[in-house]
Structure 1
Amino acid sequence: MTGNGRRWIRHWDPEDETFWRETGERVARRNLLFSVLSEHIGFSVWTMWSVLVLFMGPEYGLTPADKFLLTSLVTLVGAVARVPYTFAVALFGGRNWTVVSAGLLLVPTAAALAVMEPGTSFRTFLLVGLLAGIGGGNFASSMTNINAFFPLRRKGWALGLNAGGGNIGVPVVQLAALAVIGAGGGPRVLLGIYLPLIVVAAALAWVFMDNLADVRGDTGAARDAARDPHTWIMSVLYIGTFGSFIGYSFAFGQVLTTQFGRTPLQAAYLTFIGPLLGSLVRPVGGRLADRYGGARITLWTFVAMGAATGALIAAGMAGSLSPFVAVFVVLFLLSGVGNGSSFKMVPGIFQRKALARGLVGEAAVAHGRRLSGASMGLIGAVGALGGVGINLAFRQSFLTVGSGTGAFVAFLAYYGLCSAVTWAVYLRRPAAAPSAVPVLT
């Protein structure tokens, strides 16, 4: 492994066990640590509006439908931003782009700090909220970058930890908001806390991370991944796992205040629990997938998510807050497990397809790593659109029936679809299965 003064690594072969043991693991873990930090801050900035809307009382003049629309658009920009962020690692290098993407978070945070006061127009809030969406893009570039650092046998754990550490930015910003509200502070206090943290994350990435030379310049990988049907099949599944996590993270507090009449402070005491546990359990989903197979864990996760959603519908119709919150937390946990297991499936899919094409050894590993890294960015982008759908579904459900029941019925149907797709494509064993379609048990 050699590099120049700009921290470019010219040779990287994590599948070589000697290389991994003597050099690779230490370097990979260091890059993972600071990737997690930057992605964590990105998630916090992206989802900050899920708690800022709780600060926005009647004096701001926003209806519940306005708030759901605002969070939907923030989620949408975060999803769309993941596409160019996926290409950015190949264009600029993983370390370089981590520094840039972290620094860009200063823009939406400072803009929100400037406009967050009663009397600001809803259109202004929408425009500033859209800027926060760039925080959602950090996930795609981070996952693409870290995927290249780890060997296939460790990807489930590494990707789960990377994503889980980023996802935990959601409950952390909610806990920070709880502390600010409890201390009698306003939204500008919360925003002011994050400005120096962003600078620290960018500086640490600059000092401690590395670029991989064999990843840079391969902008065609995303194009090739987009042509593969498994990229889009896995996107459907990721809508169900990550889309649920991020959508519920944005919507949970608003559901509690709108449907159950909780105050912002009461809602803040509850909203962080689900995202926190869902984030912490994501590496567990990756570990389980490493051991038992990604498709098997993903299938049973979707079945359980369907059952939990049915219980949520019953609790919501009965107006029972405690069971509703308890089951919602379980749903967050399941989404976290599914996030880890579904992303573990992706490297395995492309590795098996490389072997099916007749590639062997390092050629197969390089091919699988190249396409899986690019595919993850696209899957992450489409999956985040699930969060948009969840917030829009809640908005329409509250406008139509005055509760979230209609939205939960739609989510239940989608989890059923995801269960069927997982089984049919990745677990079913027909007598003459085409060799190019991997069975991931």
Structure 2
Amino acid sequence: MDGGAAMAAPVAKHDKSGFWQAGHKPTLFAAFLYFDLAFMVWVMLGPLAPIISKEMGLSPAQKGLMVAVPTLAGAILRLVNGLLVDRIGPKKTGAIGQIIVIVGLMCGYLLGVDSYGGTLAIGVVLGFAGASFAVALPLASRWYGPEHQGTAMGIAGMGNSGTVLAALFAPILAKTFGWNAVLGLACIPLAIVFVAYMIMAKDSPNQPAPKPLTAYFEVLKHQDAWWFMLFYGVTFGGFVGLSASLSIWFTDQFALTPVMAGYCTAACVFAGSLVRPFGGATADRIGGIKTLTGVYILAAATLVAISTNPTALPVALGLFLLVMATLGFGNGAVFQIVPQRFQKEIGIMTGLVGFGGGVGGFYLASSLGFAKQLTGSTQYGFLIFAGLALVALAGLTVVKRRWRSTWGAELVGAKI
């Protein structure tokens, strides 16, 4: 069943004022800040991977799995957070997640992590940080009407720029103090942001009434929910998978130091994070469907070019900058459409769509490691993901006419 029109009615009223006069700015900033620091620690094992793998003598497949575990754990926990957001509210859900991450990292620092199994356990803890996605976006979204969803979700979602902080500072701190110490040092900014979050964040008065647990999975009866999971599995999955893997790729391909590889990774991640709000704002203006069509075409072409394993660092860096910016642009576009279609279920839908994105990231990060170990090259990992982008493009082509003629036709002040 797919009764689109019945699900599309937005909770927030149409607001003809400008974006900065609408909504609740302290909550929007709190959502961004929480998301930013959570993402910083979520992908932290990626920049640390060259150092950890050298100390422990890890194989390419082990490295790939190590950086992919936080992504998979985050994907699964996003479903849990999506349920909690709709039952107890996003602010409380976010507070619980932040406490778990801070306590988990401090325990890892105090007890010490000296085995491969220990790094995987830390990866599971970091998954709670990755699950912040299912909290920060509905926390911001419920304060804004349909005409501002792309911009609001883009600004809140720009918190994925925290991956830049991890890429920049984790290798330097690890070189100075040891990589175990980075776990403890990360708790300092996390604790500061937790205090700021508790002061500034406020649940929207549009918080829906709690439903029976089984009601949350009613959305899975709608094929559009599955389409959104696929679309985000490519855009966000590509972004976070590369964020976790690029430090390894640059050290393996060009024999860069972990610090220099971190700088290259930070530049790529910054490009993807910076353009996310522009992707949402562009989708607000021309529609998310048109925006995503261009995203999938360009992402597939760039990934194919990357699969040739460029031998010049400037060329490789330029291609990764382009694909990360493209995927980041697409992240903003996907979440311009999701709230239009499932505003009343935005909590669970953010969890489900975020789950799709996390699974995509887990697949990309782990497949690059396995491809490297089995074939001596990451080529097939990139090629298969390019194929997934084309599958998403085909799916978008299939659904766009139905979307525009059913629930999309009933939107007031917004485009899809």
TM over 0.5: yes
8 Å contact kept, 2:134–2:347 = no
SS at match of 2:142: helix
Do residues 28 (structure 1) and 24 (structure 2) align? yes
Find the aligned partners of 1:121 and 1:285 in 2 and give their Cα distance. 41
User: 1:68·1:391 contact (CA, 8 Å) conserved in 2?
Assistant: yes
| Alignment partner of 1:77 out of 73, 76, 89 | 73
Aligned AA (1:378): L
Alignment of 1:319-334 (within 5 A): 319-334=311-326
Q: Does the alignment pair 1:175 with 2:168?
A: yes
Q: What residue is the counterpart of 1:418 in the other structure?
A: 392
Letter in 1 for 2:64: F
Cα contact 2:172–2:259 (8 A) shared by 1: no
* Structure-2 separation of matches of 1:211 and 1:270: 38
What residue number does 2:338 align with? Answer: 346
Greater mean alpha carbon deviation, residues 213-222 or residues 103-112: 213-222
> Does the Cα contact within 8 Å between 1:31 and 1:209 map onto a contact in 2?
yes
How far has the Cα of 1:181 moved from its partner?
A: 5.3
Greater Cα offset, 254-263 or 328-337: 254-263
User: Residues 89 and 216 of structure 1 are in contact (CA less than 8 Å); yes or no, is this contact kept in structure 2?
Assistant: no
Q: Which moved more, 1:55-64 or 1:198-207?
A: 55-64
Contact 1:147 1:373 in 2 (8 A): no
The alpha-carbon distance between structure 1 residues 380 and 13, as it changes in their structure 2 partners (threshold 3 A), is closer
Partner of 1:144: 138
Displacement of 1:79 in angstroms is 0.5
Instruction: Verify the 8 A CA contact 2:77 2:128 in the aligned structure 1.
Output: yes
Q: Distance in 2 between matches of 1:428 and 1:210?
A: 36
1:86 and 1:239 map into 2 onto residues whose CA distance is 17
Percent identity between the two aligned chains: 24
Please give the alpha-carbon distance, in whole angstroms, between the structure 1 residues aligned to 2:293 and 2:119.
40
| 1:230 paired to 2:201 | no
Match of 2:5 in 1: none
Distance 1:97 1:66, change over 3 A: same
Q: Report the residue type matching 1:83 in the other structure.
A: L
Once structures 1 and 2 are overlaid, which stretch shifts more, 87-96 or 75-84?
Answer: 87-96
Distance 1:299-1:227 versus aligned 2 partners, 3 A rule: same
Choose 1 or 2 for highest CA Rg.
1
Aligned match for 1:109, one of 83, 105, 108: 105
When the two chains are superposed, the root-mean-square deviation of aligned CA atoms in Å is 2.6
User: Match for 1:400: what amino acid?
Assistant: L
1:281 correspondence with 2:275: yes
- 2:177 counterpart SS class: coil
Q: Tell me the distance in 2 between the aligned counterparts of 1:219 and 1:142.
A: 21
Q: Contact (CA 8 Å) 2:296, 2:392: kept in 1 or not? A: yes
> 1:73-111 CA deviation, whole Å, 9 max, x = no partner?
221101101001011122222222222222222133213
User: Which residue in 1 is equivalent to 2:295?
Assistant: 301
- Equivalent in 381, 406, 413 of residue 435 of structure 1: 406
Structure 1 residues 98, 59: CA separation in 2 closer, same or farther (over 3 Å shift)?
A: closer
> Alpha carbons of 1:307 and 1:289: their partners in 2 closer, same or farther (altered >3 Å)?
same
AA aligned opposite 1:187: W
* SS of residue matched to 1:332: helix
Query: Which is further off, 28-37 or 54-63?
Result: 54-63
Q: Does the Cα contact within 8 Å between 1:30 and 1:208 map onto a contact in 2?
A: yes
Matched, 1:86 2:82: yes
Give, in angstroms, the shift of residue 201 of structure 1: 1.7
Question: Which secondary structure state, in structure 2, belongs to the residue aligned with residue 301 of structure 1?
Answer: helix
Choose which of 229, 237, 245 in structure 2 pairs with 1:251: 245
Look up the equivalent residue of 1:105 and give its one-letter code. V
Look up the SS of the partner of 1:210 in the other structure.
coil
Q: State the distance in 2 between where 1:17 and 1:282 align.
A: 23
Matched, 1:121 2:115: yes
- Unaligned 5+ residue runs, structure 2? 1-9
- Match of residue 195 from structure 1: 187
Alignment partner of 2:225: what SS?
helix
- One-letter amino acid matched to 1:15: K
Quote the residue 2:13 is aligned against: 15
Offset of 1:190 from its aligned partner?
2.9
Question: Distance between the aligned counterparts of 2:406 and 2:202, measured in 1?
Answer: 37
> Which of 361, 367, 373 lines up with 1:387 in the alignment?
361
Match of 2:57 in 1: 61
TM-score, normalised via structure 2 length: 0.89
**Alignment TM-score, normalising by the size of structure 1:** 0.84
More divergent stretch after superposition (198-207 vs 187-196): 187-196
Residue in structure 2 matched with residue 402 of structure 1 by the alignment:
376
In the alignment, what sits opposite 2:45?
Answer: 49
SS of the equivalent of 1:403 reads coil
Aligned to 1:356: none
Aligned partner of 2:6 in structure 1 is: none
CA–CA separation in structure 2 for the residues paired with 1:403 and 1:34: 42
CA apart distance, 1:377: 1.9
Q: Which residue of 2 aligns with 1:358?
A: none
Distance 1:193 1:340 in 2: 31
* More displaced stretch, 154-163 vs 211-220: 211-220
Q: Which residue of 2 aligns with 1:268?
A: 262
What SS does the aligned partner of 1:211 have?
coil
Alpha-carbon distance in 1 for matches of 2:29, 2:11: 20
Deviation at 1:260, TM superposition (A): 2.9
